[in-house]
Structure formats: structure tokens, C-alpha cells
């Protein structure tokens, strides 16, 4: 199975002026093809550094995909850098220039002389016409790296695929030209399927102690990712058919569910707020909420969930009422059977949340300390409070 690396090119990315969405899109496309992505990196608009990064990647990977630096200006150096990386020169392609002229002509303009740079690609490269922009892409097949570049572990052909940095242009060319090329050229038949289980109420360390042995599996692979009160368990399987991959995932998922039980609140696109509201709906309850110190974080997430069980809520307006009083007040205001109240405190003396839940099963109050970064506190507070309410609705505590 081929391996891949992605190189995002652009000084604007390094300066934080532009967010790199291309790498994520390409990574997902490679994943769907069953290609192993081992490394991604970002390089500024510098010929030497780009050439060096491509040259190093050729020692490790079979497929190198670059994005960016294909414009007509002096600070668009990718074409020259790729040529230098593989020890070749740039060739002018009249057919590419004709396409560029035609595309610019659609806007009623004539191309400038510097735009002719875009019709130059490394000698021997396969040109990819850009139907949605002026920057052609290209694929450079390398039977073996230049003498200055020793072969990596994998023998055989390597390819450098160079795409424009404009996201819509890149996405179009990747989907319509590059993916079919890779499927044919590397005889790609395996696919990768991913299942993500969502866990609340358990920290990453505790969770690792419960499923850590599964994290050593080779296929499927199992990995953990923490998100301020929620931990995701990612199960990824590679197989020759979607059905076989799903069967492999199902076996591991069953094992994990047997170990963790109802600590798993959902999977894939499920959200904690939606699952919590569904649990309340199953009990025939309706919900109102009060929050203090969260800047609307709880209310926004519940409103976005779009479930009729949630009737509304309000944030602290500076009144003197206690959290318990405010939580009961919103329950009466919105005429609901349940209410949830949260106060987030981030003072030196106290860092954590007070949570009040009022349900047909009773009135509960609890304080939970917080030790993370202040900017993550609101998300953690909402996740933690929703977890408490969901467990009450499910009869778990």
C-alpha cells in the first residue's frame, strides 16, 4: 500500500493570515483510498525550502501532494522548486497557455506577460487542466529519485502531485483528476473506514487504562482524542471492501462497548446535547436552562440541537438569586418538567462549576473542579453539566 505526504505551501499560512483547509480535505481523500498518510507540513514561499521539503519527502513516501504557489507572481515558486527537487528544468506548454488565455478572456481581459509563468511545468510532467481557475496543476512521475536522493523503504515509482492553493480549485482537481489517477496508477482497491465513539464522564487517562490494549492493534487501529469533557475513540479499519472494513470495526466496537457501557453516549455525528435531549424526551420531560459565566455557550448549543424538548433558557442578568433559585425560576418561566443550571467560576479561589438539576426524580446540586486552560473552560462546563443531566435521565446517577 502506498504512503503519502502533504506539503502545504504559502507564507500566508505560516503567518496565520490564511487557514489551511486543503490539508484536511486531501487527508480525507487519501483515507478513502486506503493510502497511508504519514506526514504533513507547511512551507513558506521559498524555492530552496520547498525543494528541500519535496526532496526529503521523496525519500520516505510514494505520493507527495503539494498545494499552493502556482500563481503568476514572483512569490509563487512551486513550479521551479519541484523542478529543482527532482533535478530537471521547466518546459513551456503552449496548450496550457491557450487554456489560460481562454479562461482569462471569459472575464473580458487579456492575460499579462507574467501569467505565462503558469504555462511552465517541470519537464516530463503530466499537465492537469484547471477548469475552474488559471493555475494548471501537474503530476511528475519519478521512476526513482535523483542520485542525490536515496530510495526509501518502498521501491518503484514515486509521484509528486502539485495542486493550486485556492481551496475550490484544489478540491475540484483532486476529486476529478487526481483521485482517478491514483486509483489507476497505484491499483488502489483498499479503502479505510472510520467509526468514532464519543465518551463523556471519563477522563482520557482513565479511558486509556480501560482500552489501552486495543490501542496497540495494527488493523483496525484504535486512538483516543480528548475534547474538554468528551473523549473520542477512533476505530479505523483498512480492507478491500467497505463491508469487510465495517465488519472489522464492528468487532472492536463491540469489545469497547462491553468495557465502557453507557459511558459511550454516541457515535460519529452524534452530539452530547442532542443525545441528552433525546434521553429527556424518552422520559417525557421538557427542559429549560440557566447559565452564569458561560457567555451563552450552553444556550447556543441546545438551541442549535433543534429538539422540541428544549423550551428555552436565559443567562445571568446580574440578579441576586442563587443558582438553585434561578434554575427553578426558568423551569417555571418556560413551564418545563426539568431544568439545568450552571455557574462557571474561574477565580483564584475557585475554578470549576456548580451544577443544579431539577427533574421529576428530584433536585440535585454538585460542584465539579476544573484544572484546564481558561479558554476551554466553557466547553468543558457545558459538556460536564450535560453529562450529569443525561445520566439522571438514563437512571445512571
pLDDT at 269: 93
pLDDT at 148: 41
Cis geometry, peptide bond prior to residue 220 (ω within 30 degrees of 0) = yes
pLDDT at 252 > cutoff 80: yes
> In terms of C-beta density within 10 A (0-12 exposed, 13-18 middle, 19 or more buried), how is residue 46 classed?
middle
pLDDT at 145: 43
Domain with CATH 3.40.980.10 in the chain: 3-185
Residue with grid cell 437512571, as numbered in its chain? 395
Residue pLDDT, tens place only, 335-387: 999 999 999 999 988 999 999 999 999 999 999 999 888 999 999 999 999 99
Structural element, H or E, at residue 206: helix 204-211
Domain 191-267 CATH (choose: 3.40.50.300, 3.30.70.2860, 3.40.50.10860, 3.80.30.20): 3.30.70.2860
pLDDT at 235 > cutoff 60: yes
**Under a CB-based contact definition with an 8 Å cutoff, are residues 379 and 294 in contact?**
no
CATH of domain 3-185: 3.40.980.10
pLDDT at 146: 42
**Under a CB-based contact definition with an 8 Å cutoff, are residues 251 and 193 in contact?**
no
Mean pLDDT of 327-341: 97
Please state, in angstroms and rounded to a whole number, the distance separating the CA atoms of residues 375 and 334: 31
Give backbone dihedrals phi and psi of 393, rounded to 5 degrees, phi first: -65, -30
pLDDT at 318 > cutoff 90: no
Please state, in angstroms and rounded to a whole number, the distance separating the CA atoms of residues 332 and 341: 13
Q: Give CA separation, 297 vs 57, 201, 380, in Å.
A: 43, 19, 10
Domain with CATH 3.30.70.2860 in the chain: 191-267
**Under a CB-based contact definition with an 8 Å cutoff, are residues 113 and 52 in contact?**
no
What pairs with residue 235 in β-bridges?
Answer: 195, 222
pLDDT at 144: 52
Is domain 272-393 in CATH 3.40.50.10190, yes or no? no
Q: Spell out where 68-178 has E strands.
A: 90-92, 120-122, 126-128, 137-142, 158-163
What pairs with residue 367 in β-bridges?
Answer: 354
Amino acid at each position: 500500500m502506498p504512503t503519502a505526504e502533504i506539503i502545504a505551501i504559502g507564507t500566508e499560512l505560516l503567518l496565520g493570515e490564511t487557514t489551511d483547509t486543503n490539508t484536511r480535505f486531501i487527508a480525507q481523500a487519501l483515507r478513502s483510498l486506503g493510502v497511508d498518510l504519514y506526514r504533513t507540513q507547511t512551507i513558506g514561499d521559498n524555492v530552496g525550502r520547498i525543494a528541500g521539503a519535496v526532496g526529503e519527502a521523496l525519500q520516505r513516501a510514494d505520493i507527495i501532494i503539494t498545494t499552493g504557489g502556482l500563481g503568476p507572481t514572483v512569490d509563487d515558486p512551486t513550479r521551479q522548486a519541484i523542478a529543482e527537487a527532482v533535478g530537471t528544468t521547466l518546459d513551456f506548454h503552449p496548450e496550457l497557455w491557450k487554456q489560460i488565455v481562454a479562461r482569462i478572456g471569459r472575464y473580458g481581459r487579456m492575460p499579462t506577460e507574467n501569467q505565462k509563468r503558469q504555462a511552465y511545468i517541470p519537464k516530463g510532467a503530466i499537465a492537469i487542466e484547471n477548469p475552474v481557475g488559471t493555475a494548471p496543476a501537474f503530476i511528475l512521475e519519478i521512476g526513482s529519485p535523483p542520485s542525490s536522493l536515496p530510495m526509501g523503504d518502498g521501491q518503484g515509482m514515486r509521484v509528486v502531485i502539485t495542486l493550486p492553493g485556492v481551496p475550490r480549485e484544489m478540491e475540484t482537481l483532486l476529486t476529478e483528476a487526481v483521485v482517478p489517477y491514483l486509483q489507476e496508477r497505484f491499483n488502489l482497491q483498499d479503502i479505510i473506514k472510520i467509526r468514532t465513539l464519543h465518551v463523556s464522564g471519563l477522563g482520557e487517562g482513565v479511558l486509556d487504562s480501560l482500552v489501552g490494549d486495543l490501542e496497540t492493534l495494527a488493523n483496525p487501529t484504535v486512538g483516543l482524542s480528548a475534547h474538554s469533557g468528551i473523549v473520542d475513540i477512533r476505530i479505523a479499519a483498512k480492507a478491500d471492501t467497505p463491508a469487510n472494513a465495517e465488519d472489522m470495526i464492528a468487532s472492536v466496537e463491540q469489545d469497547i462497548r462491553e468495557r465502557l457501557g453507557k459511558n459511550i453516549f454516541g457515535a460519529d455525528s452524534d452530539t452530547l446535547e442532542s443525545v441528552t435531549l433525546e434521553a429527556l424526551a424518552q422520559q417525557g420531560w421538557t427542559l429549560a436552562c440557566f447559565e452564569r459565566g458561560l457567555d451563552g455557550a450552553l444556550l447556543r448549543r441546545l438551541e442549535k440541537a433543534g429538539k422540541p424538548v428544549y423550551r428555552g433558557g436565559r443567562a445571568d442578568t446580574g440578579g441576586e438569586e442563587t443558582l438553585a433559585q434561578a434554575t427553578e425560576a426558568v423551569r417555571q418561566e418556560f413551564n418545563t418538567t426539568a431544568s439545568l443550571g450552571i455557574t462557571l467560576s474561574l477565580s483564584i479561589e475557585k475554578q470549576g462549576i456548580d451544577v443544579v438539576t431539577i427533574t421529576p426524580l428530584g433536585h440535585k446540586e454538585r460542584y465539579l473542579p476544573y484544572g484546564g486552560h481558561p479558554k476551554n473552560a466553557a466547553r468543558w462546563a457545558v459538556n460536564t453539566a450535560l453529562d450529569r443531566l443525561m445520566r439522571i435521565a438514563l437512571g445512571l446517577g
